[in-house]
Chain A
């Protein structure tokens, strides 16, 4: 009956989104690094950050956890467009890189919560 049950599931979601985002960042130079699933998952997260609505429980819970860190930013819609086109300019890469570090930070926090629950 502790929070660990939820956090272990949440960790798995963070892990999936982190892996995909890292691959997408790398694919800016080496396209073969990201699979279609990596692009799709990253787009799903960014779209959820953009309009706060998602059919996916995983994306909405991860986006909700980032609210405090990422703030209410308006540029996620532009980043989402870049992801749809699979062409990341320097501005999109910068925002996605910040997002990747935020996911890393949240994952570290979840691990700490699970160990000290």
Chain B
């Protein structure tokens, strides 16, 4: 059965993969050059693998049928991703990508971003995110007309730093990251040992285990990305976090769950406020904290008694210091050092205007965004 199935299915998938190349724009668009090249390489690889799978005598041996099916599924999945996540954003792009790329270059120059920039797609259906394997940053369609969420671009710029290897440009940052992970891991290990030797309820033990896994697998990277954003653009990043939580955040004091992707929003805000103090933005830190507390009170959110067990303030402060050290060691230019450009100043002006001149804000933002993206 499998032989008959794969003869046709592999041939069809080869045709489909090859057809993807025909969908790429002609003449090529400069802003997609790297991604289009990566797509073509990926397509070539998939076609080579599919051809071998279909035609090679070793694959056709009956005893290899299970692994042959597994390999077909793996390659089909890769072609599927190339089509939907890489080629489609290129084919459906508009002039907005070009405008965002220009802004990204200005942002990166201003902070002395240490590595190559990702490609941009304005077709995100899920806020800002970055596909690190395709190095593709996805941004919602309308963001070129607004300013308040743009600080989150800096957070996304930090994710590719963790995918670098053997790269002196990011060495200091990754060393700081490992140090921070070791700090939290050690704290949680001690908590778990203490819990094991006492009458700690199983439920808390489970939360500790989740916290340890999440901090080491995912959370510390997210916290470091937040801090990269904060050190890059200053208070505007913390305001954007408040804004994001107000609009679409979940429980601010969410306790650890299995395979959670992000730490609790309240812990993230704690880190950001510590970071603002570290860069001597005490006044605005106090202002943000006051509004944050008001927001939590309005939503009736209260810190659970054992929240600190999973998000210890003392360790988080050390994490902030480590991240700042790593940021500076990469040669990045932290807020509020003066720069030749004014992107990060504009993003901070936007938040000042938002709070101080609500009547004028929308018109001001529209005009400013138009100028900035032109």
Residues of A within 8 A of B (CB): 1-6, 8-9, 11-12, 15, 18-19, 22, 25-26, 29-30, 33, 61, 64, 97, 100-101, 104, 107-108, 111, 117
Known pairs A2-B127, A29-B61. 6 more at Cβ < 8 A?
A3-B218, A4-B129, A5-B132, A25-B67, A64-B217, A97-B66
A18 touches B58 (CB 8 A): no
Point out the residues of chain B lying under 8 angstroms from A30, CB to CB. 58
> How many whole Å from B65's CB to the nearest CB in chain A?
11
Q: Let me know if B59 and A26 touch, CB within 8 A.
A: yes
Most buried by A among B63, B64, B134: B64
Interfacial chain A residues near B190, Cβ < 8 Å: none
Residue among B73, B81, B131, B213 making CB contact with A5, cutoff 8 Å: B131
A11 touches B81 (CB 8 A): yes
- Minimum distance in angstroms from B190 CB to a CB of chain A: 19
Whether A100 pairs with B81 at a CB distance below 8 angstroms is: no
Whether a CB of chain A sits under 8 angstroms from the CB of B262 is yes
Task: Tell whether B159 is near chain A: CB-to-CB under 8 Å.
Answer: yes
CB-CB under 8 A from B83, the residues of chain A are none
The answer to whether A104 and B70 have CB atoms under 8 Å apart is: yes
Q: How far does the alpha carbon of A25 sit from the alpha carbon of B64 in the complex, in Å?
A: 8
For A18, what are the chain B residues with a Cβ–Cβ distance below 8 Å?
Answer: 70, 74
Q: How far is the CB of A108 from chain B (nearest CB, A)?
A: 8
Contact indicator B74/A15 (Cβ below 8 Å): yes
For B126, what are the chain A residues with a Cβ–Cβ distance below 8 Å?
2, 4, 117
A6-B127 in contact (CB<8A): no
B189–chain A nearest beta-carbon distance, Å: 14
Task: Assess whether A26 is in contact with B133, with CB atoms less than 8 Å apart.
Answer: no
Q: A1-B129, A1-B262, A5-B156 are in contact. Are A22 and B71 (CB under 8 A)?
A: yes
Q: Shortest CB–CB separation between residue A24 and chain B, in angstroms?
A: 9
Please give me the residue from chain A that is nearest to B63 by CB atom: A29
Knowing A22-B70, A97-B66, A104-B74 touch, does A3 contact B133 (C-beta < 8 A)? no
- Chain B 205-238 per-residue mask, 1 if CB under 8 angstroms from chain A, else 0: 0000000010001100110000000000000000
> A6–B221 Cα gap in the complex (Å)?
9
Whether A6 contacts B218 by the Cβ 8 Å rule is yes
Nearest CB of chain B from residue A89's CB, rounded to whole Å: 15
- A18 (CB) vs chain B CBs: closest residue: B74
| CB under 8 Å from chain A, chain B span 241-300 | 244, 261-262
A107 partner residues in chain B, CB cutoff 8 A: 74, 77
Contact across chains for B133 and A11 when beta carbons are under 8 A apart: yes
Report B-chain residues with C-beta under 8 Å of the C-beta of A9: 132-133, 163
Q: How far is the CB of B179 from chain A (nearest CB, A)?
A: 15
Interface centre among B126, B128, B213 (most CB of A within 10 A): B126
CB neighbours of A33 from chain B (8 A): 58
Closest CB pairs A-B (n = 7) = A3-B261, A12-B133, A8-B131, A30-B58, A2-B129, A4-B129, A9-B132
> Are A100 and B67 in touch, CB under 8 angstroms?
yes
Whether A1 pairs with B127 at a CB distance below 8 angstroms is yes
